[in-house]
Amino acid sequence: ARAGDPFRAIAHLTAYLDVCPRDDTGQPQAMYELARATQAIGDYERALLLFDRLEVEFPDNPIYTYPSRLDVARIFEARGDLDGEIRVLNRVLTESDRIDPTSEIWKRAKFEIGRVRYDQARQRKADGQVDPARDAFRAARRDLEEALTYYPEEARLGILALDTLARIAVEEEDWEQ
């Protein structure tokens, strides 16, 4: 098998987790990597179960539990569940007592929630839900502007945020006509 083969990783990590003691210091990382490999092959249900298990069994291990939340958000996105994705990202942002707002995870969640709300607004607009779409566009703009204000040094994320803000302006302008 080639390097980076998720099926091989799943087999090895599963075997490791089956035999390692509960207090093994490598268990959180193995569980996190198993969940990510499972996610990579599109087995989202199993990946969600593993990410949940990671958080339940190792709640005080931020090295793996906090990044896993962004992975969970990506699963909701892949399944087309934007509301679920927003719930997960909000959870990251509202747990700032546990997740440092200067951390990479918090920053990524702050930018990402604006992009997801934009996608949600476009979906609602396409479905003819005018008021919910407008509300979602406003929320997306607010989140992205806050992210740019809090993190002006984030060049890559900032460019993506500015691009999305420009798209929001175009969408809103379409309604004015």
Segments of the chain with pLDDT less than 50: 1-2
8 A C-beta contact, residue 109 and residue 156: no
Neighbouring C-beta atoms of residue 92, cutoff 10 Å:
24
Looking at residue 2, its pLDDT comes to 45
> CA 27, CA 13: separation in Å to the nearest integer?
9
Looking at residue 136, its pLDDT comes to 94
Counting Cβ atoms within 10 Å, is residue 123 exposed (0-12), middle (13-18) or buried (19+)? middle
| Token representation of residue 170 | 């175009």
Q: Is the dihedral of CA 18, 21, 27, 30 positive or negative?
A: negative
Looking at residue 100, its pLDDT comes to 79
Looking at residue 23, its pLDDT comes to 82
